[in-house]
Structure 1
């Protein structure tokens, strides 16, 4: 556990496509300072980045392109800067989405985003999240809050850190090198979600 959280700072990517307010409030509860980047401020590459994307895959990618931050985001992630993607902030890591045919994602994770082919969509509410490996820092299962009609389907299942069930098994978390991402909203998932955020923040030290 990091005892110096009051001195910690992250960058919060705000391009008009995310619930940055709820993420910021969660970070405040954890004693973490957040700096907004994206619209008027370029991602520095010196601090961990959180991207809480909300909306359609295509709309988020267009906003990311319009903000001038798309290439910069890829650059800092490839340079090893810790990245936490939330909801569509996870989906854009992949190559594309059935939601927005022809719109390319960041391509940092091989695979596509697919639509749930059965059941009521969107999935809205609490669902069980289960870690996939004993080496996960976030080694406990718990209930998290979801709002999604689509799910990430990485080609390499070894990058799937957490799984959930919604009429089918799906990846609710991804971990690859400096990339961590969740389909659910940890900032809206009570103590369990805050514990995941805290674990990620501690790992960025």
Structure 2
């Protein structure tokens, strides 16, 4: 986990053509690492490659089938940019619980004057049906200052034929210095049909490029 995080940080320095971020948050219940990387495949930037990932490592998993387990999620997509705001994505979705599934998604992205709004519906193209909606809102207070305050919400909800699968809502607030962010965060995780809720809060570090 640490090696993956360090490799992403080094990659962000070496690969100027890429866009992306990596976030580390040691919380009260688990260590959380998220990253997103995208780089163009041609000069027109019509086609690009996108890779998204999450690692959740619990300090004390305890016992019992209803308790949350360590998580590994990875999504890899070939992206066709229909416009600056709309993109079509096709690739593979992986979790350590469900394995690999072919996946297709749309991405809607709006660049605001002081932030960004992104929505991305996704669906499995396999017998194990799952439908997901990812959303992200980021706003910078004092965006023209050297150290703006960054407020961000990131959420995901996944449902299947039997109802709710997995959801989370992540809230972050911090200061940004150049390409680095440091602040406080809380993540609310929901599991299963009865939507059992667990919280994880702590300090986070985020590198953007």
Give the structure-1-normalised TM-score. Answer: 0.32
Larger helix fraction of residues = 1
Q: Which has the larger radius of gyration?
A: 2
Larger strand fraction of residues = 2
Give the structure-2-normalised TM-score. Answer: 0.32
Larger relative contact order (C-alpha < 8 A, sep ≥ 6)? Answer: 1
